[in-house]
Amino acid sequence: MKLKLARTTLKSKPKTIELAKIEEMLPKKSIFYFDKDNSHKEIMELIKYFEEKDFNVYMREVKYGLNEDEYIYEVHIVQ
Quote the Cα angle for 39-26-4, to 5°.
25
Check whether 57 has a pLDDT greater than 90. Answer: yes
Domain ranges for the chain: 1-7+32-79
Indicate the pLDDT class of residue 50, thresholds 50, 70 and 90.
Answer: very high
User: pLDDT by residue (tens digit) across 3-46?
Assistant: 999 998 888 999 999 999 999 999 999 999 999 999 999 999 99
Look at residue 79 in the predicted model and tell me its pLDDT.
86
**8 Å CB contact between 70 and 4:** no
The pTM of this model reads 0.91
Could you give phi then psi for residue 10, rounded to 5 degrees?
-65, -30
